[in-house]
Amino acid sequence: MSRRYGPILIGLAAVALTGAVGSVLLWLGGFDPLAAGAALIRGSVGSGRVFFSITLVRSVPLILTGLAVALAFRAGVWNIGAEGQLYVGAIAATWVGLSWAGLPPVVLIPLVLSSSVLAGAAWALLPAVMRSRFGVGEVITTILMNFVGIHFAAWMVHGPMQESRGVFPQSDAIGEAARLPALVPGSRLHLGFGIALVLAGALAWMLRHTAVGFRLRATGTAPEAARIAGRIDTHRTVLLAFLVSGGIAGLAGGVDVSGVTFALYENLSPGWGYTAIAVALLAGLHPWAVVLTGVFFGALQAGAGAMQRDAGIPAAWVGVVEALVILAVLGLDRVRRDREARR
């Protein structure tokens, strides 16, 4: 298997394997796998409407958090905290959107989005400093920061940011001026998808062509060689990658508020920050591939509704499918590494 196409082959093989194992599980569960597959496809790519207004809309936060995770993993930073970073990004975006409601869109929208980036980066700062200064493993700290972030958002919508009517645990809606314009007229697809595409391109270019990207890849691949042969300040590189990753995850929250929900909710995210790990791994941590896998997972989530409606299969099955994809990717990647190591 060639070095270059290896990850792509693994991705395709993982999807095929998941389809096979998933079908068997469905069949064992007493469901009709063919009907399930048909409903899944109808509900995700069955028409232009479902594709643009449901699948692609759902893929936006998955692509953004997937990019955040992919960037961090490329630098050897195991940021499992995209979920929490997304929530604080959403809080910041909502707050800025409500506080400066009088500004024109050209000023307000960038302000809303940058506030979410800063908030996400700030949320990553503590685990980043703990890792680079004191060597505390970021897997644990970022997971714990997720709980803090999620509950922080919950507290905000029950307390300081609760809607002025004071009935539901949600914030007031942000005004028109803070909302992202539609990308495809007549659909619900908003500018956030374009932002995700541009960001993916920018990250791919950065990793491939710039000195910063090179240092980041070197640090993530072999930190000792990066430090000793490359004289790379690996602590700084880790810190930078961590903060940028947090910022992108925060942006996912900002984009969701500004493009879809227009308000802060308690359970804003159905676990995008975690699914992002599968999105990034399935993409072999490559930014452009993250766009594809993000859309793939977006389609799964969009199709889940149709599956439940049309084939009577609980939407939770999609969670099973997502888990199978992660297991398949990790397993196949392991097999590939073992093969290479035995040479």
Partner 1 sequence: MTDPRVRLHGIHKRYGRVVALDDARLDVRAGEVHGVLGANGAGKSTLLSILGGMIRADAGGIEIDGRPVDLRSPKDAWANGVALVHQHFALVPALTAIENLALGRGTAASVRPAAVAVMERTGLTVPLDAMVSELSVGDRQRIEILKALLREPSVLVLDEPTAVLTPQEVERLFDLVRELASAGTSVVLVAHKLDEVLAISDRVTVLRNGRTVRTDDAASVASDDLVEAMVGSNEAIPISAPSPPDRTGNEPVLSVQGASLTVDGVTRLHEVSLDAWPGEVVGIAGVEGNGQRELAHLLVGLAHPSAGTVRAPTDVGFVPQDRIHEGLIGDFDVAENIALVLHRTDAFRLGSRVRWRDVGAEANRIIDAYGIVASSAKSPVAALSGGNQQRVVIGRETAVARELFVAENPTRGLDVSAAAFVRAQLIDMAESGVAVVVLSTDLDEIIELSTRIMVLSRGRLASVAPSERSREGIGALMLGGESA
Which residues of this chain interact with partner 1, rule CB under 8 A? 3, 209-212, 214-215, 217-218, 221-222, 224-231, 342-343
**CB closer to partner 1, 5 vs 147:** 5
**CB closer to partner 1, 130 vs 212:** 212
Quote the least distance from Cβ 244 to partner 1, whole Å: 14
Q: How many CB atoms lie within 10 A of CB 10?
A: 22
**CB closer to partner 1, 179 vs 215:** 215
Quote the least distance from Cβ 75 to partner 1, whole Å: 14
**CB closer to partner 1, 75 vs 257:** 75
Residue type, 2: S
**CB closer to partner 1, 1 vs 107:** 1
Quote the least distance from Cβ 171 to partner 1, whole Å: 39
If 0-12 CB within 10 Å is exposed, 13-18 middle and 19+ buried, where does residue 106 land?
exposed
Quote the least distance from Cβ 221 to partner 1, whole Å: 5
**CB closer to partner 1, 166 vs 224:** 224
Quote the least distance from Cβ 208 to partner 1, whole Å: 8
**CB closer to partner 1, 152 vs 214:** 214
How many Å apart are CA 242 and CA 240, to the nearest integer? 5
Residue type, 72: A
How many Å apart are CA 343 and CA 338, to the nearest integer? 9
Quote the least distance from Cβ 333 to partner 1, whole Å: 13
Q: Which residues contact 8 (CB under 8 A, 6 or more apart)?
A: 284, 289
Quote the least distance from Cβ 178 to partner 1, whole Å: 33
**Are 8 and 14 contacting, i.e. CB atoms less than 8 angstroms apart?**
no
**Are 13 and 284 contacting, i.e. CB atoms less than 8 angstroms apart?**
no
Quote the least distance from Cβ 89 to partner 1, whole Å: 26
The SS3 of residue 255 is helix
Nearest to 241 by CA among 223, 217, 274: 217
Q: What DSSP string runs through 281-333?
A: HHTTT-HHHHHHHHHHHHHHHHHHHHHHHHH---THHHHHHHHHHHHHHHHHH
**Are 147 and 165 contacting, i.e. CB atoms less than 8 angstroms apart?**
no
Residue type, 115: S
Nearest to 205 by CA among 138, 287, 261: 287
Q: Which residues contact 146 (CB under 8 A, 6 or more apart)?
A: 80, 81, 83, 84, 273
**CB closer to partner 1, 2 vs 164:** 2
Quote the least distance from Cβ 1 to partner 1, whole Å: 10
Enter the tokens of residue 105: 């869109």
**CB closer to partner 1, 131 vs 215:** 215
The SS3 of residue 271 is coil
Dmax (CA) for the chain in angstroms is 67
